[in-house]
């Protein structure tokens, strides 16, 4: 019964190998959906070393793994970037080796201008914070550049417009650095071109331009996106050569426009900013030349005219002398009469003065003076006598007041005082003398008491030998002669040999004690 | 006035010098001798401007690049 593994009911399901089912799933997925567009936010972007890109597109609940192969990446207009809202186009497929499905994306578009602008705003803020938009950083453009470097696509209307406008205004040497102006290559190539122009040396084999124009025609935001890349903006900011940006139309402002030294609304406008109009300059130079000639000739004319005017205003030499000459004449004429009149006037005055000068006048004056002298001298004697009398009277009045009594009184008083002093002095002298005398007597009495003479009165005697005092028996024995003094006189003992005399003496001496 | 010799001046320098010279001449407050010297300088500056204006030659070349995108030289560009 059970020898055969009969399939149970419902067990007639077809059996696949893993690869068979994987292939079937892959075909089903690809066939079912075909080419589709999916909208979502980019996240977890990984760019592999191989050049392939792996990233997710997600909404608030799910995520879809996406791949873009190296060859496809090069053709993308927008490179997926973390957080960017995009619409990706491609096919759903499966990767059987990992039992995963994903989407192969060959086109990426930004999901809306709003999303892209938000990204641009973020970059702008970053660069602005670094000061790259500072107006002080902007370099002035050269007035007439010798060589203009243009970074753009070598084919197309843009370079044609620029060259055309340059030709109209002022033909110049132009170096074109060809770049891709959209797609993935755009940003690195433009950045490289700007740096490359800056690396050239002025006057070298590749002569360095003195002005750069980075240009691109109009297009969608996505088309222009390469010029919003940070690498491009940083290369433009780092450029030492003044740089004009002309990307898109007037309404399109890309990141490079904020850092460039000037922004032109169109490529044609960039050419206009780059060079002045040649024929206008030629006209200007001619005009300057004309003005210069005119200024010089005017200067000469003005000087000439002034000279003439002044020459006209100069009077003739003759007329200059007329007035002084006339002056000389009139003064000369007045000279002689003036002299005569002067002498006449002085003569009259002399006559007036000398008329009153006569001897009688002098005598009269003399007599008058003499008389005055007589009068005064007669008054001299009485005046003297009168004065003398006045002094005498005055003396007589004063004399009785001078009397000697007062002086005598004073003298007596002083004599009396003197006498008293002498009296006191004499008394004091007597008192002092008596006191001294008493003292001397007392001293004498004391002396007599203490002296040996008083002792003699009481029976003692003094022994001498040849005038020298003998105080011991030994000396008395040796003495040839002894002299003994008593109270009432002296006695001489001996005149014998010293030995005997000495033996005779001691009892006498001993009797003394 | 700048010390740069007139023959070494850029167009812009020569232009601004020429304007200065003209201004002085037109004010007419310079001595006669000096105004003649100014005129001569003005003439030299004008000549320099004309020289620079004559150098109006169009020459367009494109940079040639190697595989790494480095400039290797130029090639003439025609027909643009």
Kindly report, residue by residue over A414-436, the tens digit of the pLDDT: 999 999 999 999 999 999 999 99
- Interatomic CA distance for residues A261 and A243, integer angstroms: 5
Q: Which residues of B touch A235 (CB under 8 A)?
A: none
How much is the average pLDDT of B20-49? 87
At residue A270, the 3 state secondary structure works out as helix
Whether A174 and B65 lie within 8 Å, measured CB to CB: no
Question: Average per-residue pLDDT in chain A?
Answer: 86
- B43 phi-psi bin (left φ>0, alpha ψ -120 to 50, beta other): alpha
Higher pLDDT, B4 or A503: B4
Model confidence at A6: pLDDT above 70: no
Task: Write down the pLDDT at residue A502.
Answer: 42
Where residue B2 falls among pLDDT bands split at 50, 70, 90?
Answer: low
Range A92-102 average pLDDT: 92
User: Best residue in B60, B67, B69, B79 to probe A by mutation, most A CBs within 10 Å?
Assistant: B60
Class of residue A59 by CB neighbours under 10 A (exposed 0-12, middle 13-18, buried 19+): exposed
Q: Which of A193-197, A484-488, A508-512 has the highest mean pLDDT?
A: A193-197
- pLDDT above 80 (res A198): yes
Q: Which residue has the higher pLDDT, A239 or A116?
A: A239
Question: Residue B79: its chain A contacts at CB < 8 A?
Answer: none
| pLDDT confidence tier of residue A88, bands split at 50, 70 and 90 | very high
pLDDT at A510 over 70: no
Name the phi and psi angles at B69, rounded to 5.
Answer: 85, 15
Average the pLDDT over each of A27-31, A192-196, A354-358, B46-50 and give the range with the smallest value. Answer: A354-358
Element (H or E) spanning A317, and its range? helix A317-354
Q: Residue A511: its pLDDT value, please? A: 47
Is the pTM higher than 0.80?
A: no
Answer whether residue A508 shows pLDDT above 50.
no
The bridge status of strand A243-247 relative to strand A462-465 is unpaired
Q: How far is CA A294 from CA A193, A300, A302, B20, B27, in A?
A: 50, 10, 12, 16, 12
Residue B17, pLDDT > 80, answer: yes
Distance CA A454, CA A462 (A): 12
Please compute the mean of the pLDDT values over residues A224-230 and round it to a whole number. 89
Tally the C-alpha atoms within 13 A of residue A390's C-alpha that lie toward its C-beta.
6
Q: Closest Cα of chain A to B4: distance in Å?
A: 18
Shortest Cα distance from B53 to chain A (angstroms)?
7
How near does any CA of chain A get to the CA of B7, in Å? 16
Return the pLDDT at A382.
87
Average pLDDT (A451-473) is 80
- Helices and strands (H and E) in chain B: how many: 2, 2
Distance between CA atoms of residues B72 and A200, nearest Å: 11
Using the structure block, give the residue that is written with the tokens 């890349």. A229
Residues forming a β-bridge with A127 = none
Residue A38: pLDDT band by 50, 70, 90 thresholds? very high
Arithmetic mean of pLDDT, A253-258: 90
Whether A482 has a pLDDT exceeding 90, the answer reads: no
For the beta carbon of residue B8, count every other beta carbon within 10 angstroms.
9
**Least confident residue range of A111-115, A397-401, B43-47:** A111-115
pLDDT, averaged across chain B: 85
Q: Which of A124, A137, A128 is CA-nearest to residue A240?
A: A137
Measured between alpha carbons, how far is A54 from A39 in angstroms, rounded to an integer?
16
Residue of A149, A171, A280, A295 to mutate, testing the B interface (most B Cβ within 10 Å of its Cβ): A295
Q: What is the pLDDT of residue A486?
A: 85
Q: How far is A235 from chain B (nearest CA, A)?
A: 15
A474: pLDDT strictly greater than 90: no
> Is there a contact between A170 and A276 (Cβ–Cβ < 8 Å)?
yes
User: If 0-12 CB within 10 Å is exposed, 13-18 middle and 19+ buried, where does residue A254 land?
Assistant: buried
Torsion over CA of A359, A360, A361 and A362, rounded to 10 degrees? 60
Interface confidence: ipTM more than 0.90: no
Q: Is the distance from CB of A88 to CB of A66 less than 8 angstroms?
A: yes
**Mean pLDDT within A183-190:** 88
Helix, strand, or coil (residue A47) = strand
Instruction: State which residue of chain A sits closest to B62, comparing Cα positions.
Output: A176
pLDDT at A5: 60
Residue A325: exposure state from Cβ atoms within 10 A (0-12, 13-18, ≥19): exposed
């Amino acid at each position: 019964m059970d020898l055969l593994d009969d399939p149970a009911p419902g067990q007639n399901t077809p059996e696949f190998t893993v690869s068979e089912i994987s292939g079937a799933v892959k075909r089903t997925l690809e066939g079912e959906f075909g080419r589709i567009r999916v909208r979502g936010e980019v996240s977890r972007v990984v760019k592999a070393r191989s050049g392939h890109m792996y990233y997710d597109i997600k909404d608030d609940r799910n995520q879809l793994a996406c791949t873009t192969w190296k060859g496809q990446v090069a053709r993308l207009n927008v490179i997926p970037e973390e957080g960017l809202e995009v619409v990706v186009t491609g096919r759903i497929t499966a990767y059987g080796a990992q039992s995963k499905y994903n989407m192969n994306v060959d086109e990426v578009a930004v999901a809306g201008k709003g999303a892209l602008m938000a990204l641009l705003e973020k970059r702008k803020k970053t660069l602005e914070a670094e000061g790259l938009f500072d107006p002080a950083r902007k370099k002035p453009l050269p007035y007439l550049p010798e060589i203009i470097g243009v970074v753009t696509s070598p084919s197309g209307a843009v370079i044609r417009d620029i060259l055309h406008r340059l030709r109209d205004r002022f033909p110049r040497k132009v170096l074109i650095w060809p770049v891709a102006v959209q797609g993935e290559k755009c940003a690195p190539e433009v950045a490289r071109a700007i740096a490359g122009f800056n690396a050239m040396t002025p006057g070298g084999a590749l002569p360095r331009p003195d002005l750069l124009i980075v240009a691109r025609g109009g297009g969608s935001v996505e088309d222009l996106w390469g010029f919003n890349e940070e690498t491009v903006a940083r290369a433009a900011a780092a450029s030492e050569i003044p740089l004009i940006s002309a990307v898109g139309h007037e309404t399109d402002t890309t990141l490079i426009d904020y850092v460039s030294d000037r922004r032109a609304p169109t490529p044609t406008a960039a050419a206009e900013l780059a060079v002045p109009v040649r024929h206008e300059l030629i006209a200007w130079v001619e005009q300057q030349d004309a003005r210069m000639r005119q200024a010089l000739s005017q200067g000469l004319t003005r000087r000439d005219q002034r000279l003439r005017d002044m020459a006209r205003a100069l009077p003739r030499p003759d007329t200059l002398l007329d007035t002084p000459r006339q002056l000389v004449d009139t003064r000369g004429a007045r000279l002689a009469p003036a002299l005569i009149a002067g002498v006449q006037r002085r003569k009259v005055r002399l006559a007036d003065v000398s008329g009153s000068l006569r001897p009688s006048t002098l005598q009269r004056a003399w007599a008058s003076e003499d008389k005055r002298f007589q009068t005064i001298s007669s008054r001299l004697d009485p005046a003297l006598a009168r004065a003398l009398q006045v002094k005498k009277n005055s003396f007589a009045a004063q004399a009785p007041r001078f009397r000697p009594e007062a002086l005598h009184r004073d003298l007596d008083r002083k004599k009396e005082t003197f006498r008293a002093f002498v009296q006191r002095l004499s008394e004091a002298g007597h008192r002092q003398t008596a006191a001294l005398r008493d003292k001397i007597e007392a001293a004498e009495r004391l002396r007599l008491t203490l002296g040996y003479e008083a002792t003699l009165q009481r029976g003692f005697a003094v022994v001498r030998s040849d005038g020298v005092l003998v105080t011991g028996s030994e000396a008395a024995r040796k003495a040839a002669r002894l002299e003994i003094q008593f109270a009432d006189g002296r006695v001489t003992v001996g005149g014998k040999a010293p030995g005997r005399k000495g033996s005779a003496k001691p009892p006498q001496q001993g009797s003394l004690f | 006035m700048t010390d740069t010799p007139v023959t070494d001046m850029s167009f812009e320098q020569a232009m601004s010098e020429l304007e200065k010279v003209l201004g002085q001449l037109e004010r007419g407050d310079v001595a006669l001798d000096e105004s003649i010297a100014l005129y001569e300088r003005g003439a030299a500056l004008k000549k320099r401007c004309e020289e620079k204006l004559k150098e109006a030659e169009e020459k367009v070349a494109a940079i040639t690049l190697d595989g790494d995108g480095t400039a290797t030289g130029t090639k003439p560009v025609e027909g643009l």
